[in-house]
Amino acid sequence: MNTKELCSKYEEPNENGKLIGRESYDRNLGSIPVMSDACNLANMNTKELCSKYEEPNENGGYFVVKGYERILRLLTMTRRNYPMAMSRGRWRQRGPGFTDRGLQIRCLSDDQRGIENTLHYLDTGAITLAFMFRKEMYFIPVVMILKMLADDNTSDREIHANLMRGAYKNNSAFDNNIKYMLRQLQKTYWCEQPLIARQTIIDYVGSHFRTRLQRPSWHTNADVARYLIDNYILIHLKNDKAKYNMLIFMIRKLFSYVRDECKAEDQDAPSMHEILLPGHVYLALLSERLETWLISLRETFLKLNKSSKTSNDASITTSA
């Protein structure tokens, strides 16, 4: 049997929001069974398997759970890390201005955690990026993400040039759509400042997602925005430059698809699928259960801390 240990960290900020103390604790979460090792057929040779009325060349993936047969083998999923142009009629129901055209990519990190990022084409010519967080859909203008991923000294002109280079150089429709998205961003104000500077946009996004992502109170808006980029935007890429270039490519491909310069990918084609291994399913289930447990544990600690403060305040009032 394998065991996993969770290392939980306690961090305490001072009045300025900086961490002044950090302590870690190792706790054994119990045994995580490896089903092939737990099976009574493990390590049997061909003769022994036949004596148990088993197939000599059985490759595994077959289980009996509560009296029912379960087979976990050769499940398929959408091809990973590949932006697919497609049309979905239900996308029109996501809000005013949404069309049925879009680009979807299923991103997988090294630990096999998957996030779907979707670029939606709007009837205004703009593009918005959608991602799912705890079964709720969120939308962010794609130029806002580009500005966050670009360097501090990257101007709107450079972003426009990156999108228009090559075959798109003389495409007036594409040019107008890009300029429209950039102008709409500049017309948006936050704290009496237009969303032009990269840091202003980062703080704006961080402030809007602080509560939804449930980040610690001492994290700045920039920390929240960084957490969002790292964990929910093109998570298969490890740095902002790679994510920026990938997003540029996806925008250009979506515009080509909208103008019928390329065809929609056939999702039923074998090249658009990959095998979902049993270990990946097990890992996803384990990660989900651990996350649920940690959230429950945090809520319990917060309630205990709140009740402790209330009782202390009451005792002070009584003694006074």
DSSP helix/strand/coil, 136: strand
> Tens of pLDDT along 1-38?
444 444 444 455 555 555 555 556 666 767 777 767 77
**Close Cβ partners of 11 (under 8 Å, ≥ 6 residues apart):** 19, 21, 22, 216, 218
**Close Cβ partners of 226 (under 8 Å, ≥ 6 residues apart):** none
- DSSP letter for 272, please: G
In this structure, the number of other CB atoms found within 10 A of the CB of residue 262 comes to 13
Share the mean pLDDT of the chain: 81
Radius of gyration from C-alpha coordinates of the chain: 25
Q: What is the DSSP string of 52-85?
A: TT--TT--S-EEEETTEEEE---EEEEPBT--EE
Q: Using alpha carbons, select from 154, 151, 96, 173 the residue that is nearest to residue 128.
A: 96
For residue 208, what are its two tokens?
Answer: 């809007």
pLDDT in tens, the chain (320 residues): 444 444 444 455 555 555 555 556 666 767 777 767 777 878 888 888 888 888 777 666 666 778 776 665 556 788 889 999 999 989 998 989 999 999 999 998 888 888 899 999 999 989 999 999 888 899 999 999 999 998 888 888 899 888 888 767 777 888 888 899 989 888 888 877 788 888 889 999 998 888 888 888 888 899 999 999 999 999 999 899 999 999 999 999 999 999 888 888 888 888 888 877 777 877 888 888 888 888 888 888 888 877 776 655 444 333 33
Any bridge partners for residue 133, and if so which? 136
- CA dist 225 and 59 (Å) reads 45
> Tens of pLDDT along 258-291?
988 888 888 888 888 887 777 787 788 888 888 8
Distances (CA, A) of 33 to 36, 136, 283, 286: 9, 32, 12, 11
Q: 228 with 205: CB under 8 angstroms? A: yes
**Close Cβ partners of 196 (under 8 Å, ≥ 6 residues apart):** 156, 185, 186
Any bridge partners for residue 122, and if so which? 98
- Element holding 306 (H helix, E strand): helix 278-319
